[in-house]
Amino acid sequence: MRGYGVAGRCFAVAVAALALSGPVTGTARAEDRVAPRSAAELRLSFAPIVREAAPAVVNVYAKRTVLQQPVSPFFNDPFFRRFFGAPGQNFGRPRERVESSLGSGVIVSADGVIITNNHVIEGADEVRVALADRRELDAEIILKDERTDLAILRVRDLDEPLPHLAFADSDELQVGDVVLAIGNPFGVGQTVTQGIVSALARTRVGVTDYQFFIQTDAAINPGNSGGALVDMKGRLVGINTAIFSRSGGSNGIGFAIPSNMAHFVAMAAEGDGIIRRPWLGAGVQAVSADIAEAMGLDRPRGVLVTSIAEDSPADRAGLKVGDLITRVGEATVADPDGFGYRFATRPIGGSTSFTVLRQSGEVELTVTLEAAPETVPRDARVIGGRSPFAGATVVNLSPAVAEEMRLDAFDEGVAIRELEPRSTAARVGLQVGDIIVSVNGRKVKTTRGLERIAAGDPGVWRLEIQRGGRILRIALRG
């Protein structure tokens, strides 16, 4: 994956029509789709769609201030390096430097709510948007979600309603549907490209936690980041987010976040600004060809339940280890990424159904949609003193904290939530998300317990750290 800007991605844009507060509307039914039947029909124009949709696409300009450590030009001189340090060593005081990034966004309500990509505005001190009519307006960030690479902005001091796009139901898209992408590639100005939906439910793209993308061959290039993919009724079907490219330009393989996910995040922003995703309390894995054969399936499908937390929604619904989940509601699931997307876009409250295959046959279970609980107080503490943990903010793990930190819901103990720059903890190689298992043979169960251990001076610190499912053993001098 070749990319531009934050996290090595490149991105694009497109559009749709109606208010954020309005209902999610369906796309055209399969029987309504008609292929061109004559040369005259091939000469039909997309101009009416563009005329309605383009005013709702904006350019997003983000500025961020970063500290840059000066490097002496004499570092290329061997004599200078011998007496004053190796190349890359700090030289002088850090200086502030302003970085700018360019992306696109889509207005989804008349009061100036805009959806863009999180990487476009990440770390920004100032955000401005340029409308299609060349007006420039200040905008504030009201929600950022790194997990979906989406961000929600709102125009400040708005004195009149803005043109905006409606959300279509991205689940009703079909491969072969015609779509448009509207954005500002390479900063040349607003541009429209046309293509088709090349594939649906693409996983393994690797740019967000929720791997479930619309693939399109509409040309997407750097600068399109955060724009919208539009159907033939001018409605928002996706936020274009990544391209597959070896050169950095469009190769006809672009990926868009489905509009249903974008709508889910936008509605959270319209509420209290907190994204609450439903918690299942079960672990699942992909079904390989060997597993499918062992289960007597004709092909790999669904996800296999591998673990269930006690008194979780999965437990109360009657889900069992070894069950094969094949559908969430009316949507078929093929792999863990697809399952995660289907479940995560359900709103908290109420319930949804799971279609489950087990030895006794196919059953339907009802799963309540509730947020992950904070079963123990997180009790955040900043560790001080001279221990290897100095400068680390640690928290007690619970399903809620694990969800926030993208850790396994079954993890327990104490995790590093934040690290102060240049702190002892950062220098010794500890990372955000590390789970502290034990120190000098003493198991760490709570932040209070770690604080007591860290106050000692054993001379040698022997740490056991869980990172990415692995146990790391580290020995450090006091």
Distance, in Å, from the CA atom of 236 to the CA atom of 165, rounded to the nearest integer, reads 6
Token pair of 196 as six digits: 């088709």
Catalytic residue among 101, 104, 109, 119: 119
109 appears as a binding residue in the annotation: no
224 appears as a binding residue in the annotation: yes
- DSSP per residue, 18-65: S-TTSPPBP---GGG-----SHHHHT--SHHHHHHHGGGEEEEEEEEE
Put residue 124 in one of left, alpha, beta given phi > 0 → left and psi -120 to 50 → alpha: beta
90 appears as a binding residue in the annotation: no
Eight-class DSSP state of 347: P
Phi, psi of 353 (to 5 degrees): -105, 145
Token pair of 344 as six digits: 């995560």
164 appears as a binding residue in the annotation: no
Token pair of 207 as six digits: 């740019």
Catalytic residue among 101, 109, 145, 149: 149
Put residue 434 in one of left, alpha, beta given phi > 0 → left and psi -120 to 50 → alpha: beta
225 is catalytic: yes
Other Cβ atoms less than 10 A from the Cβ of 274: the count is: 9
195 appears as a binding residue in the annotation: no
Distance, in Å, from the CA atom of 190 to the CA atom of 132, rounded to the nearest integer, reads 8
- The residue type found at 19 is A
Catalytic residue among 225, 245, 259, 312: 225
Burial profile 9-45: b = 16 or more Cβ within 10 angstroms, e = fewer:
bbbbbbbbbbbbeeebeebeeeeeeeeeeeeeeeeee
Distance, in Å, from the CA atom of 129 to the CA atom of 138, rounded to the nearest integer, reads 6
Annotated binding site for substrate: 119, 149, 223-225
User: Hey, which residues are catalytic here?
Assistant: 119, 149, 225
